[in-house]
Each structure stands twice: as structure tokens, then as C-alpha cells.
Chains A and B, each alone.
Chain A
Amino acid sequence: MTTANIPLQLTRKDFVSNQTVRWCPGCGDYSILAQIQKTLPDIGYAKEDIVFISGIGCSSRFPYYMDTYGIHSIHGRAPTLASGLAITNPNLSVWVVTGDGDGLSIGGNHFIHVMRRNVDLNVILFNNRIYGLTKGQYSPTSRTGRKTKSSPMGSIEQPINPISLALSSGATFVSRSLDAHTKHLGKTLAQAAAHKGTSFIEVYQNCVIFNPQEWGPLEDRRERDDHIIYLEHGKPLIFGKNRDKGIRLDGFKPEVVQLGDEYTEADLIIHDETSKQLAYTLSSIEYPDFPAFLGVLYQEEKPTYTDGLFAQIQTAQATKGMGDLNALYRSADLWTVEEQEVVASDVKGTVALGMDDAYMDDLDKPEAVTTAVQDQLTQDTLASLTPRVPIEVDASTSLVKAIRQLNAHNIGCLLVTDKNDILQGIFTERDVLMRVAGLVDDLAAAKVGDYMTADPITVSADLPIAQALHLMSIHGFRHLPLVDEDNRPEGVVSFRDVVHHLTESLA
């Protein structure tokens, strides 16, 4: 039975599982996870019709963290399981999560074939140009000359270009995005989901532990626009923070030019996402030799594998009738496998302990230079914001009264507490717009308890400011209740307080 046409009102929260996320703090995987959880509510599928399938690697832990169906499968083989599933049940939204190791080393062959078949599924390849899970060896996308644990004198191999490979294998949707570019990533994921057929998204992902320098200025919001070309169908390839640079063709060779006297917009390549020839040409340019292009490079409508297969099944059944699986099984020689004697193993010993730590210490990581802002974010606690004393009401307070309180104190939120002062919910000006204004007729009869957000996410005074910012950026919260260990409110942290603190204290 399909549930796809039941109207859905899912939110990001519906896709967050209760599993402990085990990536290294700072890993780009976190932002990709958050964006996927944010995008899925809007792709038009019921939660139970969405499946994430992964192989092996850091990125492949993904299915645990999604509150959807998921398979953490065999190394490099996620595309095969995904293809089988998507063909058998075309009503599902199937996502493969893989990395440059899983998808292009051991899974290289499967990658090619999933790209060419055009089964309706989505492949997200987290590219950090290193092996993360096995601790820092070079991967198939590591640059030539790159020194890693397994290439101490520099890699002598030519890297794979995942976008070129996907294109030449016949993918019908080829795109790229960047982990920390939340808006762009969300948009690209939504476009991939909407495409019928195999969608490929390469996501440049920052492995902060083993390859933190790889994406350089791309990971710096202030500079990234000087290094990113945003592809838009029908638009010239202009880039730069001041939009003063572009890409033109010199013969067959893409070339970066400065716009001005010598070159104008008219000299630049116009992006055409339906042109495979252009896609091939553009796919050849890669960061850092060129600015990185982000967006949809190529897309094409083509019958899917499933369409073709089902058409053949129908024809076969029309001419030969329904098949009989049982008869097919029994049509060849049959034999019985006898039980075998158990052979005792003589392998003994314990796993060496402490090896990991020695290995980690041994890594020559670039020395981290932090800015004053970074130090503040991670070292100043929320207590240092001197959070405002919250205004508290109980759940039976009428909306009239609650709104009067918000207006009288000129504040954006009220905390709702029970008679023991335990936090029950939060009621904000956002809730007034979203759930009350023009929707509730009798404000005197309505109780705030029915319109608040119950059991809100809270913070405690000893957490770093970065934690509050994280919650605010991911969830869009403007206020966070600060509570003690018994969940009694101690204050409210607003994003205004945070911005103030960061801009004032260093004045």
C-alpha cells in the first residue's frame, strides 16, 4: 500500500533518530545530516516510504541517524541493494549515502553501473578526498602529490573526478554542493529528489581530523564566493564576491577571466544543463586548479530502468502467462547439504590496546590557529551572556493574558511552567503568527498550553555559546530556555543576546 498521497505535515524532527551521532566534532557530515533532515519533509514522501542505504565508512553511519528505514550494507555495495529495492518497490524514495572511499575504491564498479542504469534513486557521495574511518590514508580522489599516512612522499596516482565519472557512465542528473553551504545544499538535495531517474550529488565534505585543509577557502563563508561558480541554467558563468570574474572557452579549454575591458559577459559560457557536451567540458575543471562549480551540471529526462523492466514483464506475462517461481526453483538438479563437523579454532590472544591513541598522536596535523571569535564560541559559556530572567506563566493561562504579557514586557517569548516550576513549554511571537492570529476566535477561552511548543529543547548555563548557536542555526530558534538540572527555568537566551555578546565584549 502506498501512503504517498496522504497529505503530510512532517518536520525535520520526524527524521531525527534517537541514536548517538558518532562523528568527530566538527565533521562536515553533521551539516549534511541536518540539511537532509530539513529537506525530506518537503519532498512529498511519507516517512515510511523513505530509505537510506549506505556501505562502509564515516559517511555510511548515516542510516542510524535518520529516523527512516535504512540499511548499513556491505562495503561499496549500497548501489546494488538500493537498485534492487527501488525496482521492486517504485513507490519508495531511495537514497544511497557513500563516500569517496566506499563509492569509488571498493565500490567503483557498482558506482558506474548504478549511474548508467537510471533506476529512480539518489546517490549522495561525501567527498573528503581522504580515508577517514581507517584514519587518514589517501583515497581515489586525493590529489596527486598529496602526503597522507599511506603516501608519505606524496600520492603518485591520478585522482578520479566523480562528476566526470558519473557523466560518462550515463547519469541523468549530476550535481555538486558543499557541506557548510546549508542553503545551497538544501536546494540541491531537493532538486535531486525531484528528478526521476538516478540523481548524483557530490558533496564536498570537510574531514576536520584527517584532511582539514582540503577545501580551504570554500569552507570560509567570507571568501567562498570568490572560489565558487553557482551554476544556473541559462545564465552566464559569472562568479566572485563582486561578480567580476567569469569562465570562458578558449578553444575547448575553460579559462577564468576578469570581467572588464578585455572580456564582458557576452564572452562567457552560458550554462545549459541539457547539454552533455558542455557538461563534459565543465566537469573537467576541479578545485583547487579552478573555482569549484556548485549546482546542477546536467539533467536529462529518460525512461527509468524500472519503466523498461515493468514493460517487459507485462509483455512476457501477456504472451506466456504468469510465471511459477516454485516450478523454476525445482526445475534443475536438487541436493542436500549435510551438516559439517565443527573445527575448533586455535587462534588466541587479545587485540593490542592503545594503538589508536598512539596513531592519533603520531599524525602530523597542521597546527590549529583559532581566532578570537572561535575561542569565544567554544570557551565562553552561556552563563556569560547573563541570560534574561524569564517571564513564566502556567499552561491554563488564557491567550489574552499571555499576549498581554508579551506586549507589556516587549519580549518575544514566555516560558510555561507547572506548579513546581518545572518547564513544560515555550510560547513565542512566532507561535502567535503561526497558530493564533486569525485562527483562534476566542482568545479568552483558549489556553496557552494548547498553543505552546511542548518540551522544548533546552540548554544549561555551562554549555559553550557555540551550542546555542548550533541549535539556533539548525532549528531556526530565536530563544532557548536555560534550565537547571531539574528542568527549572533559569533564564532565556535569545539570539540577540548572543550576537550582542560576540560584538560587544571584544570592542
Chain B
Amino acid sequence: MSLKEELQAERVSHLDLSNYCQLPSSTLVRDVLATMRQKGSIVCLVIDNGRLAGIFTERDVLQKVVASSEALEQPVAAVMTANPVTVSPDQPAINALQSMDTHHFRNLPVVDKDGRISGTMTHHAIIEFLATRYPTEVLNRPPRPAQFPSKAEGG
């Protein structure tokens, strides 16, 4: 089975979508940055009245925030990408991946038809899928390739 077929069979909701934080659109950019740093998130899903209003990514930090000191004191709504493309959790994972590629997105919010947010799809989710789907080949490799023992040692 190829990876494509595997990701066809796997639903988005079954991937690790947890690499995000979620804040109201009135939050100041300064505070959004602090939360992202503290939680190690790569993206902030921006919420308005319980609904996804936009996303604010590391790319936005790079393009709109870092060089402008005024941006820090603005609400995140001013610098987010509004009405982002989303994917539904019951879609096959491959669809999400393809959508990311077509749009050159690094992440894609996962939202169901009732507007419930279940996380964010990233390339990292696929890496994590591969690592735990093929632990023998990926996860459980000796950390340093030069030290790959030439034979099974039994300990």
C-alpha cells in the first residue's frame, strides 16, 4: 500500500491536530505571541462568537508583525488571515494534504459542518502519522546513523 492510499483511508480526525492555540479575535497580538510561545503552537485559531474567524500563523508573524512595533498592540483580528480555507474532520487525510499543497498552506484548520473546531492539520501531523505507523523504521531508529549496529545484538 502506498502512502497515498494509506492517507486516503485515514480520516483527518484521526491525525494529531493538537499543535494550535485558540483565542478571541480581540486578543492583542502581543498576548497571542506569548500564548503561542508558551504552548509551543505553530498557529493561533482566532475565534469570534464561538466560530472560527481567522488564523494567525508563524508566517504572519514573519510578514506582518516582527518588523512593526505597532502591530503588537493591535487586536489579532487586524493581522490574521480572515475566513481561512478549512477541512472537515471526516475527510480523508489525503484531501487535506492536497488542499494544503494547492494553496501552499502550512496548516489548515479542521472544522466540522456545525462549526466545531477540532484542531489544525499540518505536515507535522503526517510526520507523526508516519513515525507511529512505522515505528520500527522511523521512531525506533538508533539516533546516530553512524552508530547503526551491524547485527542484532539482543541488547
Contact = CB atoms under 8 A, between A and B. Distances in A.
B140 A26 contact: yes
B131 A470 contact: yes
B155 A360 contact: no
Contacts of B124: 472, 476, 478, 495
Given A208-B136, A225-B14, A432-B66, A20 B147 contact: yes
B6 A23 contact: no
A429 B9 contact: no
Interface string B105-132: 0100000000000000001101111111
Contact of A209 (B10, B126, B143, B154): B154
Interface in B31-73: 33-34, 36-37, 42, 58-59, 61-63, 65-67, 69, 72
Contacts of B61: 429, 432-433, 437
A58 B131 contact: no
A437 B155 CA distance: 47
Contact of B135 (A58, A180, A463, A503): A180
Contact of B131 (A406, A407, A437, A473): A473
11 contacts: A58-B155, A136-B154, A360-B152, A372-B2, A377-B134, A377-B138, A407-B63, A433-B58, A438-B33, A470-B139, A495-B127
A463 B155 contact: no
A304 interface: no
A23 B142 contact: yes
A492 to B, nearest CB: 14
Given A20-B147, A467-B145, A407 B62 contact: yes
Given A25-B149, A182-B132, A373-B3, A473 B58 contact: no
Contacts, number: 194
A220 B9 CA distance: 14
Interface of A: 16, 20-31, 34, 57-58, 61, 132-136, 179-183, 206, 208-210, 212, 219-222, 225, 241, 357, 360, 371-374, 376-378, 400, 403, 406-407, 412, 429-430, 432-434, 436-438, 441, 443, 463, 466-467, 469-470, 472-474, 476, 478, 495-496, 498-500, 502-503, 506-507
Contact of A22 (B2, B10, B145, B155): B155
B135 A219 contact: yes
B150 to A, nearest CB: 10
Interface majority SS (helix, strand, loop, mixed), chain B:
helix
Nearest to A500: B101
B23 interface: no
B66 A436 contact: yes
Give the interface size class of chain B. 35 or more
Contact of A438 (B30, B94, B138): B30
Given A209-B152, A437-B66, A473 B127 contact: yes
A469 B154 contact: no
B97 to A, nearest CB: 7
Contacts of B69: 441
Contacts of B34: 438
B136 A206 contact: yes
Most chain A CB within a 10 A radius of its CB, from B9, B16, B133: B133
A433 B33 contact: yes
A374 B66 contact: no
Given A206-B136, A499-B123, A507-B4, A434 B37 contact: yes
Contacts of A29: 140
A503 B14 contact: no
A206 B97 CA distance: 31
B1 A206 contact: no
A478 B19 CA distance: 13
A206 B123 contact: no
A463 B145 contact: yes
B127 to A, nearest CB: 5
B149 to A, nearest CB: 6
Contact of B1 (A21, A25, A209, A371): A371
Given A132-B154, A209-B154, A478-B123, A25 B140 contact: yes
A25 B148 contact: yes
Given A21-B147, A503-B7, A30 B97 contact: no
B143 A21 contact: yes
A397 to B, nearest CB: 15
Most chain A CB within a 10 A radius of its CB, from B7, B33, B136: B136
A182 B139 contact: yes
A31 B135 contact: yes
Nearest to B29: A438
